[in-house]
Structures are given as C-alpha cells and as structure tokens.
C-alpha cells in the first residue's frame, strides 16, 4: 500500500509548480520517529517531521502544496496512522486524512468589482477618503476570509520555536508582576499544581485593579500583605467579590478562556472578541479526560491577522475591501464631528494627568490604550494597560501615589536608562492616516506587539481616531 519508510529524512514537499500554498501538518500524539506521506508525494516519498521545541510529543512539518484535494497519512514508529480529529475518508489505502486547499482567483469577476483595470496599488492606496464602499466588495471579502479562517486551525499559529511563561497560582502577586515585567509580557497563564490544570490567566488588568485597591483608603490590602498575597488569594478572595471585570474581561471571573489546537481560527478569533481578551492559551491534552495538559501557544488576533495577510499576499485583488481607505469604511473609533449628535468623545489624556485618572479610564471606559496629546490634541505618546507592569521595576508601586504621579512620569519609569529615545519621540506610537488602505493597516497590525494604530492628521499629528485589532476583526467577520 505504501512505500517503506527510508532511514533518512526525505526533503520532498509536494508536487512542483509555479503556485503553491504553505500548509502545516501536525501529529500531536507522540512517537519516536514520525513521517508524513500523501498524494502530494505520490505516496512514495516520506517527509520527516520534527518535534516542537518544549513539546516533544507534538511533531510538525510545513509543505508547499498545489491548490486542490490532497490525502495524507502519518507513519509513527513504522505504523501507518491517521489523525482521528481531522477530516478523513476510507479507500484503497485504508483510512486517510484529507485536506482541500483553495487558491483565491487573481481577478474578480467584473460584476463584483468597480475597480478599473490597470489601476496600480499606489493609486488604490491614495484613493480619497470619501469614496464609497460597494457592498459587493465587503460581501466577497468577508466570505473569502471566513473560508480561510474556517479551514485553518490553531495549530497553524504555532511558531517553530519560542517560550511561554506560566505562573504557579500560589506565587505571591508581587513576585508575579516582577516576572511579567522582567520577561516583557503583559499576561501569563496560571497553573494549579494541586489540580494539575491551567485555571486562568494573570494580566495587566489584575495589576491595575490591585493598584486601585491599594489606593483605596478603605481597603484591607496593605503593602505588607502584598508581599505575601498569592495569586490564588487575589483571584479567590475578598478583592474579587462582586467584580465584573477580571483578566478575562467578562462577568464570570472563574471562567478560564482557552482553545484547543484543533479549533478553527474563526472560533479562536470569536473567543477572543466575545471574552474581550487580547490573548488566549492554546492547550493540548493527549488524554481524553484532559489530564496532562500541554501549553502550546498564546494565540492572539495579531497572529491570526498575520496568517490572513500571508495567505492572500499574492491575491490581494480577491479581497477588494482591503483596497479601500480606512476613512471610508465603518472601522475603529473616531473623534466626533462638530455638531454630530450622540458623538462619543475619544478617550485621551494630557501628559500632566494623573496615573490614577488613566487607570480609572482603563476600567470604566473599557479601553486598552489612551493617546497622550498636547493642548492641540496632537499625538505625543500612548499609555497602554501593559505599561502598568513597569511599576514593578524597583518596587515603584510601593512608593507611588496614583494621584501624585503623572502619566509623563509613569512613562519614564518604563524607559530603559540606556535607551537613545526620549519621551515624545513617537517610537512607541504606531500611526496611520485615514487615507491609508485597509491592507496597509492590517499589515502594520500584524506586526508582533502592535495592537492598535492611532489615526492622525498628516503634518499636525492631530488625533482623529484609533483602529485596534479587535476593530478589524469585528469588521471582517461581520
């Protein structure tokens, strides 16, 4: 039925051709030596799969495949097997997994596109912001993105290598935030040793709520208690009572939001949006009862967006909505126009505003970042929830009064003394213009660490709006 597995790794990756699509194959069920074979290798070549760093039971390989229907199977320690969690069919080769790769057309039917032939990308990018958006452009683009997200899983987000920080739930809160600051991360999954399970996450929002509680004169939590106050005590104790805002951003503080590696990217994106979180852990367990869980990755909208941009890189015309300027589509939060009824003002602060005002705005306005502007509303810097972990440096939170320290001073706390940059140089601010195309905005937001773009007026840098990753996905998913 199949050719014998060779002793050495085979480097074939499918049928040759001018157009191919990268596809990641994953075997998450362990083994010593795992090979991949399929119709794309004519069932004669066997491609060696490599164990993932930190997860030796998970093997993976990326192959460049031609668009169309493919069958494949895994050889695990000399035994041919298929993944029961993936689509499969029975035939002359036994039970084999299947995959169907779709190549998006390079040219849209003229009935669905109002773009003139021969128009350059530069001309598209420079379209006037008051241009109208054809409904057909939106419908076609949403449908094709939905198909991509529905046919790819969280496994496609896994990097070749990397590290993930997890915290023991019995770790003191003070020490936990030192770890977050030192590792340069704003959240970490929580591990309960007694239950042998991941039970939640600790995020920058937790630190914000703790700091606000410390600043509350009626609080029972003192600086001394914070030294020994554990994460479990914070999550379970009096401070969490009747709170509706937690690290998962919902009204169920004990609900642990996570995803499995076999969940499609569309479901992962919806989980992030519905629970108002920036990141969710991808957890795999080889046991049916969920025991011995493995933390594979921290999935974010940025990673999913990067996958969209990479997949459609050579067929941008198949997503016509990406060619429209962001100022012409209902995307993001914008400064209300003069005389506009029910206009909601954009959350902004001056550099002299107190840190306490910023933290209150994070909680009450449910925003993740605040543009810092001058008296003309021109962008100077931006203060984000993740910046709060800088207060863990040298225990700054212990000698800081939220109402006495300004945002200017708080931003300086997070700067590296050896950094050549000063405050208000804009190196932390990621900006765009309302005339920029949606594609250009998506490319910038797919860069790791970039979660939002501030829309500014050319020249003056006057703030006109904010476009976040969440805004883009709510628009694309409808």
Last residue of a domain, one of 82, 101, 120: 101
Whether 295 is in a domain gets the answer: yes
CA 315 to mean position of chain CA atoms: 23
CATH number at residue 81: 2.60.40.10
Question: pLDDT: is 86 or 421 the higher one?
Answer: 86
Would residue 15 count as lying in a domain?
A: no
- 332 has a pLDDT exceeding 80: yes
Do 164 and 50 fall into the same domain? no
Spatial distance between the Cα atoms of 231 and 279, rounded to a whole number of angstroms: 19
What pLDDT is stored for residue 138 in this prediction? Answer: 86
User: 166 and 74: one domain?
Assistant: no
Model pTM? Answer: 0.70
In a domain, 346, yes or no: no
How many domains would you assign to the chain?
A: 2
* Torsion angles phi and psi, residue 435, rounded to 5: -85, -10
**What percent of the chain clears pLDDT 90, i.e. is strictly above it?**
32
pLDDT band for 379, please (50, 70, 90 cuts).
Answer: very high
Which residue range forms the structural domain that includes residue 175? 154-242+254-303
If residue 198 lies in a helix (H) or strand (E), which one and from where to where? strand 197-203
Mean pLDDT, the chain, integer = 78
pLDDT in tens, 71-86: 999 999 999 999 887 8
- Which of 64-78, 378-392, 406-420 is predicted with the least confidence, judged by mean pLDDT? 406-420
pLDDT tens digit sequence for 234-272: 777 544 544 444 444 444 445 689 999 999 999 999 999
User: Is 159 domain-assigned?
Assistant: yes
Are 175 and 266 in a shared domain?
Answer: yes
Residue 341 CB neighbours (<10 A):
5
Which residues, including other chains, have CB under 8 Å from residue 298's CB and lie 6 or more apart? 164, 187, 189, 279, 280, 281, 282
- Check whether residue 171 and residue 93 sit in a common domain: no
Q: Which residues fall within 8 angstroms of residue 243, CB to CB, at 6 or more apart?
A: 209, 253
Do 91 and 160 belong to one domain?
no
Collapsed DSSP state (helix, strand, coil) of residue 90: strand
* Inside any domain, residue 88: yes
Mean pLDDT of 163-179: 88
pLDDT tens sequence across 200-236: 898 888 888 888 777 665 455 556 666 677 888 877 7
31 & 171 share domain: no
Q: Give the containing element (helix H, strand E) for 176.
A: helix 173-183
Q: Are 475 and 330 in contact (CB under 8 A)?
A: yes
Last residue of a domain, one of 101, 133, 163: 101
Flag whether pLDDT at 297 surpasses 60: yes
Residue 364: band (very low, low, confident or very high) from pLDDT cuts 50, 70, 90: confident
Mean pLDDT over residues 394-404, rounded?
A: 74
180 and 280 in a common domain: yes
Q: What is the pLDDT of residues 51-65, one digit of tens each?
A: 877 678 888 888 888
Q: Are residues 175 and 291 in the same domain?
A: yes
pLDDT of residue 351: 92
Where a domain ends, among 67, 83, 101? 101
Instruction: Quickly tell me which residue has 């995803």 as its tokens.
Output: 259
Q: 3-state class of 175 per DSSP?
A: helix
pLDDT value of position 9: 36
Instruction: Report yes or no: 47 and 59 within 8 Å, Cβ to Cβ.
Output: no
Residue-by-residue DSSP string for 366-431? --SEEEEE-TT-BEEEEEEGGGGGGGGGGGGGGG--TTTSBHHHHHHHTS-TT-S--TTSSTT--E
- 66 domain-assigned: yes
């Amino acid at each position: 039925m199949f050719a014998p597995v060779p002793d050495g790794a085979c480097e074939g990756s499918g049928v040759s051709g001018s157009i191919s699509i990268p596809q990641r194959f994953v075997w998450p069920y362990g083994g010593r030596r795992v090979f991949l074979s399929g119709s794309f290798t004519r069932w004669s070549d066997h491609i060696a799969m490599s164990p993932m760093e930190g997860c030796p039971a998970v093997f993976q390989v990326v192959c460049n495949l031609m668009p169309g229907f493919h069958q494949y199977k895994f050889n695990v320690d000399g035994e041919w097997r298929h993944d029961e969690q993936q689509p499969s069919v029975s035939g002359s080769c036994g039970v084999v997994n299947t995959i169907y790769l779709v190549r998006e057309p390079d040219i849209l039917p003229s009935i669905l596109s109002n773009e003139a032939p021969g128009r350059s990308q530069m001309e598209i990018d420079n379209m006037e912001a008051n241009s109208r958006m054809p409904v057909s452009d939106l419908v076609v683009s949403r449908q094709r993105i939905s198909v991509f997200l529905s046919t790819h899983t969280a496994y496609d987000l896994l990097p070749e290598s990397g590290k993930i920080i997890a915290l023991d739930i019995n770790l003191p809160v003070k020490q936990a935030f030192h770890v977050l600051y030192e590792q340069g991360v704003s959240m970490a999954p929580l591990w309960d040793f007694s239950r042998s399970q991941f039970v939640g996450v600790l995020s920058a929002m937790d630190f914000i709520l703790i700091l606000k509680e410390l600043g509350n004169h009626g609080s029972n939590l003192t600086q001394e208690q914070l030294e020994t106050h554990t994460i479990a005590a914070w999550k379970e104790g009096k401070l969490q009572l009747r709170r509706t805002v937690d690290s998962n951003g919902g009204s169920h503080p004990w609900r642990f939001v996570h995803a499995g590696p076999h969940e499609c990217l569309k479901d992962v994106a919806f989980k992030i949006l519905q629970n108002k979180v920036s990141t969710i852990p991808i957890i795999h367990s080889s046991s049916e009862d969920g025991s011995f869980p493995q933390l594979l990755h921290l999935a974010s909208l940025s990673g999913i967006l990067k996958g969209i941009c990479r997949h459609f890189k050579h067929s941008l015309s198949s997503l016509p909505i990406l060619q429209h300027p962001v100022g012409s589509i209902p995307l993001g939060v914008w400064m209300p126009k003069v005389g506009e009824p029910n206009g909601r003002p954009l959350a902004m602060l001056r550099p002299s505003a107190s840190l306490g005002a910023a933290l209150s705005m994070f909680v009450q306005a449910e925003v993740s970042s605040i543009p810092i502007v001058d008296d003309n509303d021109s962008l100077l810097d931006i203060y984000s929830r993740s910046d709060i972990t800088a207060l863990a440096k040298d225990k700054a939170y212990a000698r800081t009064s939220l109402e006495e320290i300004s945002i200017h001073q708080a931003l300086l706390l997070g700067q590296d003394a050896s950094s050549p940059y000063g405050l208000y140089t804009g190196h932390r601010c990621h900006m765009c213009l309302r005339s920029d195309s949606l594609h250009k905005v998506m490319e910038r937001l797919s860069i790791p660490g970039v979660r939002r773009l501030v829309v500014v007026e050319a020249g003056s840098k006057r703030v006109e709006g904010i476009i976040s990753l969440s805004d883009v996905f709510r628009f694309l998913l409808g």
